[in-house]
Structure 1
């Protein structure tokens, strides 16, 4: 996974599809897509947190896989839907190199106060 862009409003990440993240039938594994989605959301969430006093963790994620690929590069674009004091919700769209939508995910993040 590679971070292309990271701001409070949008996180863009890319991931190469290859033997390391394909399922047994040779397609991009749905779990790899979910890992990419949660990573993008978590990076964005941490940009909204105060790292000296807060930690951000994935609380829940759901995904719908619309189509798949066997090779190439996929791109995840994560955008915040809700930024709250104790939770954040991010929408993540994953597309192929031709901008075909592969997966959509929604990730809820928990914002916790670090123990001193």
Structure 2
């Protein structure tokens, strides 16, 4: 049975309770056949000391949305997903508003997945480009 877009987003946000995603106010906001988008508010909670978005918070957003995408598009009854490598290029700073991270697959293999994650601001300016590699491991009974 295929879940509706709303149910997928609701489930993803529900399991984020009491995690880093909740601490950073990361919310899954859009989902389609081959992508997942999350957003995070930019405020003092995610600043570096000089008052702009911390690169680590950007990477946390990217890894969160990419890992969730790998989970959503896998057989969750048979496999669990772990991130194994992430890279980030920070291109522009931001002081306020929201940043959006859209994860799309470059490779969706049985064992490993490679995701391209573009982080943009509300005006669709590119803030960062990230690549995330995840691995699907078998669940043991």
Same fold (TM over 0.5): yes
Total equivalences in the alignment:
116
Q: What's the counterpart of residue 75 of structure 1?
A: 100
Q: Measure the CA separation in 2 of the matches of 1:6 and 1:96.
A: 18
Aligned to 1:29: 54
What TM-score do the two structures reach when normalised by structure 1?
Answer: 0.96
Greater helix content: 2
1:60–1:107: 8 Å Cα contact kept in structure 2?
A: yes
Report SS of the residue matched to 1:49.
coil
Higher relative CO (Cα under 8 Å, sequence separation at least 6) belongs to 1
Q: Displacement of 1:97 after TM fit?
A: 1.2
Once the 2 structures are TM-superposed, how far is the Cα of residue 7 of structure 1 from its aligned partner? 3.6
Contact 1:6 1:43 in 2 (8 A): no
| Aligned with residue 6 of structure 1, among 17, 21, 31 | 31
Query: What is the Cα deviation at residue 21 of structure 1?
Result: 0.5
> Superposition RMSD on alpha carbons, in Å?
0.9
TM-score by length of 2: 0.79
Which whole-Å CA distance do the structure 2 matches of 1:84 and 1:48 have between them?
11
Secondary structure of 2:72's match?
helix
Give the distance between the partners of 1:83 and 1:14, measured in 2 at CA.
23
Asked if 1:57 is matched to 2:88, the reply is no
Q: Stretches of 4+ moved more than 6 A in 1?
A: none
Higher strand share: 1
